Structure 1
Amino acid sequence: MNVVEDNPAQHRFELPIDASHEVAAAYYRMDGDQVVLTHTIVPKRFSGQGLGSQLARGTFDAIRSSGRKVVLLCPFMAAFYARHPEYADIVATETQND
């Protein structure tokens, strides 16, 4: 199992996909100390293999370990959270600038 890593230079969490040198990515922007997840991409040829869920779980775990909160603007990440309420402790209901 590959590990999700934060790539702050690209503003995304990345999940490497085998030896293909491709990544599944969860894009974000920072709002103070909150991570605002905006968009998730899994290369089409890898869809249906559970990579999106693996990316989501790794992203949520990385945010939790950083002590930050997450805002879910990305529909995929919001749907993942709806199925995994164990991440309620890190989900913010609005951005800090609201």
Structure 2
Amino acid sequence: MELNIKHDKKYQQFTANMGNEDAELAYATPSEEVIDFTHTFVPESARGKGVANKLIEEGLCYAEENGKKVIATCPVVKKFIHKNPDYQKLLK
């Protein structure tokens, strides 16, 4: 599934348009060096298709490219990082 993921710094989220609803990965920035991924949402019609994983990868790549450490408050993000050891170096 090809996704067009957009990063909205003002609203602190990565979004993918899924038709009627957007899938999103929301975050907070408790400090300049840290990004806390707080919430993942995928519309029911798009679940099970890897959408959340693509959003999470996009968010983690953004963190890495910008030298930020990651907090995974969202259990989906936490599980993704646990299953993908390459991203564990980003954890705060």
User: Which bin holds the TM-score, normalised by the shorter protein?
Assistant: 0.7 to 0.9
Contact 1:24–1:51 (8 Å) recurs in 2: yes
**Residue ranges of structure 1 left out of the alignment (5+ in a row):** 93-98
> C-alpha separation between the residues in 2 aligned to 1:40 and 1:34?
18
Instruction: Return the TM-score normalized by structure 2.
Output: 0.86
TM-fit CA distance, 1:21: 6.0
SS of equivalent residue, structure 1 residue 40: strand
> C-alpha separation between the residues in 1 aligned to 2:17 and 2:91?
25
Instruction: Return the TM-score normalized by structure 1.
Output: 0.81
Q: Partner of 1:96 in structure 2?
A: none
Say what the alpha-carbon RMSD is for the aligned residues.
Answer: 1.5
Letter in 1 for 2:17: P
Letter in 1 for 2:27: Y
Letter in 1 for 2:9: P
Number of equivalences: 90
> C-alpha separation between the residues in 2 aligned to 1:83 and 1:29?
23
Identity rate, percent = 22
The ranges of structure 1 where at least 4 consecutive aligned residues each deviate by more than 3 angstroms after the TM superposition are none
**Residue ranges of structure 2 left out of the alignment (5+ in a row):** none
Letter in 2 for 1:53: N
Q: Partner of 2:66 in structure 1?
A: 66
**C-alpha distance after superposition, 1:11-69 (max 9, x if no partner):** 2112333xx26421111111112001111001111111111111111111111111111
